[in-house]
Copies of this chain bind each other. A is one copy, B any other.
Amino acid sequence: MIPIDDSPIVRDGKSLILAMDHGLEHGPVDFEDVPEKLDPSTVFETATHDAVTAMAVQKGVAEGYYPSYEDDVNLLLKLNGTSNLWMGEPDSPVNCSVDYAAELGADAVGFTVYSGSNHEVEMYEEFRDAQESAREHDLPMVMWSYPRGQGLKNDTKPGTISYATRIALEIGADIAKVKYPGSPEAMEHACKAAGDMKVVMSGGSKTSDYEFLSTVEAAVNAGCKGLAVGRNVWQREDPTQLLDALERVIYEEETADAALEATE
């Protein structure tokens, strides 16, 4: 962890990361109800919203679409990622070098780590290479810290999420993206376990506006420094309205109720 408050991906100490790598991780099935979003331009448009501090995509999408948005969107290049077609202990190939991410104009890089996988050793070492290379390029490192594997049954129980944030702190992330551990108390503990490192909540699958904003409100109150969200934004009919509300909950620390009322 190094100081990143001056980074473009941070606004008032917080971040709202819009992620769109589901086509790789889950396949086109995530776009079934919103086929027009298969065109990455549509999501980049959404990412121009002021509330969004960075858009997280894989290399190929960055190559093809970021040149048209580099003035209006900050790029978080997701360095690894995998399809869900194969079988075996969780792992994730490194699809982009940090050098190339920098060449593409990235403002930060992202890396998934599956602690608990029998590939943990290999993944930590790949993370090390990427992290030290990111330091050379002065790029913040965001870790998708997702414990998962043979030795883990429930990957969102409180102890696991606190372990996830702590690991991110210890091995050198600047921001940890973790799943919501089910309660504000557990989220607060997970944030404490991260010391001064920022924790952002992972958006997860689509829920109602109110349910989603309430969870974000709880997470922010518990110490989260923002949100990394995909489907809960771009699977909606009107992502802009939700981003308006998220802007209030995250940066103004308004309640979900107040934010919803103000933006409806």
The answer to whether B116 touches A172 (Cβ under 8 A) is no
A121-B93 CB under 8 A given contacts A135-B100, A192-B35: yes
The answer to whether B58 touches A124 (Cβ under 8 A) is no
Q: How many residues of A contact B (CB 8 A)?
A: 74
Which B residue sits closest to A121, measured CB to CB?
Answer: B93
Which B residue sits closest to A165, measured CB to CB?
Answer: B28
A159-B64 CB under 8 A given contacts A120-B82, A121-B91, A167-B83: no
Partner of A172, one of B59, B117, B166: B59
Q: Mark A183-197, 1 if CB is under 8 A from B, else 0.
A: 000000100110111
Q: Mark A14-43, 1 if CB is under 8 A from B, else 0.
A: 000000010110011101000100111100
Q: Mark A89-110, 1 if CB is under 8 A from B, else 0.
A: 0011111110010000000000
Specify which chain B residues have a CB less than 8 angstroms from the CB of A151 in the assembled complex.
85-87
Specify which chain B residues have a CB less than 8 angstroms from the CB of A29 in the assembled complex.
159
Q: Which of A226-245 contact B (CB under 8 A)?
A: none
A46 contacts chain B at the CB level, 8 A cutoff: no
A132 contacts chain B at the CB level, 8 A cutoff: yes
The answer to whether A60 touches B197 (Cβ under 8 A) is yes
Specify which chain B residues have a CB less than 8 angstroms from the CB of A87 in the assembled complex.
118, 150-151
The answer to whether A118 touches B86 (Cβ under 8 A) is yes
Given A58-B172, A86-B116, 19 more pairs with CB closer than 8 A: A23-B170, A27-B162, A27-B166, A28-B166, A31-B193, A39-B195, A60-B168, A60-B169, A60-B173, A60-B197, A81-B171, A85-B149, A86-B150, A86-B151, A93-B121, A94-B124, A94-B125, A95-B128, A97-B128
Give A residues with C-beta under 8 Å from B.
Answer: 1-2, 21, 23-24, 27-29, 31, 35, 38-41, 57-61, 63-65, 81-83, 85-88, 91-97, 100, 115-118, 120-125, 127-128, 131-132, 135, 147, 149-152, 159, 162-163, 166-173, 189, 192-193, 195-197
